[in-house]
Amino acid sequence: MAVAAIAIVIAAAWWGAEELARRARGASLPPLADLSALPEPARDLVGEADRTARANPDSANAIGELAEAYHASLLSEAAIDAYTRAESLAPASWQWTYLRGLVLEEHGRQPDARAAFLRVVQKNPVHGLAWFKLAEMAFKDGALDEAEQAYQRAGQAPPGTPLAVPGVLSRRVVPLTAYAQFGLARIAMERGRNAQSVSTLDAILAAHPTFGPARTLRGRTTTSDEGHSTGRAYVPPSDPALEAIVARSTMRDLLLKHAALAARGGDRDWREYLVRRAARFNPNDPNVLIEMAAMLQATNRSTEALEVLRQHERLVPGDHHTLVEQGRCLADLGRLEEAEAVLRRAVRVRDAAAEYNLGTVLDRQGRSEEARERYERALAIDPFHSRALNNFGIWLDRRGQSNAAIAMLQRSVQADPDNAEMYSNLGSALIGARRIPEALRALDTAVALAPEAPDAHNNRGIALVLSGRRAEAAGEFETALRLNPGHPNAKRNLEGLGASRGQPR
């Protein structure tokens, strides 16, 4: 009994000493960063992570989660320091090194970021995103051999899975392999191997027709009428580690930045998650409300968007952009007189979007000459306004001015080379001019970009009929009807095709 009692006393003393040492190590952590400039939700996020880290000073995960909280709250220097400490506690792990590299890269510290990513691939030789980042850095430095090897390693890495979060039902991302192949195509072009570059780009677009950078680069290799001289801004590959940081952030700027990237990449559910998270923590922020309205408009929820825009107007009375977007919503809801009244207020400011939207409303009211004047005003302000080019092209085509219409629509696809609707309209105008091979090229692109668009399939069916490819045409009309059972033109075209063949359909 005495021996057991002594052992208990010794154990208690040891535990007490260890606890004191642990607390001392927790107290030795760098002081909490200055959080005074952060909004309250971000202060809470970092404060909780700091308390956990001080209670577990020997845990790489606890220190790493503190670093992530700093990262998510845009406290970059504090994040770098905490990631470095987490690395020292788990030297065999690559996770904290990679995240530190992301912060360094974002803040332009390229040599330090490169060193971090090199450490990642030493620890994890199949980390595709680290290889890709090394490839991009080498390419920018003109080290083409080094870039080529790194792109190849990125392309050979196991496929990643985009971050899954509650409420995000689907993700639309281009896989890293396509980005790696795109990098190799750029290298081939730099070396003057255009045929190799074109072959690689065509393979990418066959698998991923909405991958805008590849479509833009491919356009530079051709002089076809549907050339792609400009494109949407580059969207980086999906990065689950970074997405996890963004998903826990409460900071408006970080959330809206990644929502904008998701919008450009067509990743709708992820965009909505980020916008709604921004609104949760910033419910009366005008920038958040504008982005919320844009997201709702893009998903055909015009009634909700209109209410958000009116909330924005109450916060920022007389804001010009809000008037334009309210006019768009009212037009989408068929409330054309109200839309016209709002847009006439908007065009008091010289703005292409206001003029274009007013032109659209006038066009839908049958006031075609007034509409033309507004389209021309929009293009005088912004000659590359793709929607104004598109609508004016349709306006000209309806009046039999085929050559002028085609030229205008070609400009529209050059201004927005990822827009399927504009290729479909160009294809329709080319059909009217009996330039069928060109029409098919434009409509092939439209269907590739938006396989769910019934008008594109219907127009392609017409072009196929005129090319003598009637069986394929029937398939296109049937696809259009499957996508929109009430599509009147597709139904009539399919019935006419059957009647001309002596076969009721």
pLDDT at 298: 92
Gap between the Cα atoms of 58 and 69, Å rounded: 18
Q: What is the pLDDT of residue 446?
A: 92
pLDDT tens for 412-427 read 999 988 889 999 999 9
Helix (H) or strand (E) holding 158: none
120-146 pLDDT, tens digit per residue, is: 999 999 999 999 999 999 999 999 999
pLDDT level of residue 212 (50, 70, 90 thresholds): confident
99 in Cβ contact with 67 (< 8 Å): yes
pLDDT digits (tens, 9 = 90+) for 147-185: 999 999 999 999 889 999 988 989 999 999 999 999 999
Q: Which domains does the chain have, with CATH numbers?
A: 383-505 (1.25.40.10)
- Round the average pLDDT of the chain to a whole number and report it: 90
What integer pLDDT is reported at residue 188 of this predicted model? 95
pLDDT at 254: 97
| Pairwise CA distance, residues 474 & 275, whole Å | 42
Q: How many whole angstroms separate alpha carbon 456 and alpha carbon 476? A: 9
**CA angle (56, 100, 185) in 5-degree steps:** 150
Instruction: State the pLDDT confidence band at 11, using cuts at 50, 70 and 90.
Output: low
Residue 82 has pLDDT above 90, yes or no: yes
The residue that leads in pLDDT, 218 or 240, is 240
List % helix, strand, coil for the chain (3-state, nearest 5): 75, 0, 25
3 state DSSP class of 310: helix
Distance CA 188, CA 196 (A): 6
Averaged pLDDT, 222-245? 71
Closest by CA to 183, choosing from 220, 143, 150, is: 150
Neighbours of 180 (CB within 10 A): 24
pLDDT confidence tier of residue 99, bands split at 50, 70 and 90: very high
Q: Between the CA atoms of 440, 442, 448 and 451, what dihedral angle is there, to the nearest 10 degrees?
A: -80
Taking 90 as the threshold, does the pLDDT of residue 14 lie above it?
no
Cα 392 to its chain centre, rounded Å, is 28
338 in Cβ contact with 330 (< 8 Å): yes
Looking at the chain, the number of H-run helices and the number of E-run strands are: 27, 0
Q: Note the helical H segments in 141-285.
A: 144-156, 176-190, 194-207, 212-219, 240-248, 252-265, 268-281
7-35 mean pLDDT: 59
**The pLDDT of residue 26 is above 70:** no
The Cα 212–Cα 455 span in angstroms is: 22
Could you report the per-residue pLDDT of 349-400, keeping only the tens digit for each?
999 999 999 999 999 999 999 999 999 999 999 999 999 999 999 999 999 9
pLDDT grade for 230, boundaries at 50, 70 and 90:
very low
* DSSP for 475-504, written as a single string: HHHHHHHHH-TT-HHHHHHHHHHHHHTT--
DSSP code, position 349: S
Task: Give the span between the Cα atoms of 81 and 60, in whole angstroms.
Answer: 13
Query: How far apart (Å, rounded) are the C-alpha atoms in residues 209 and 497?
Result: 30
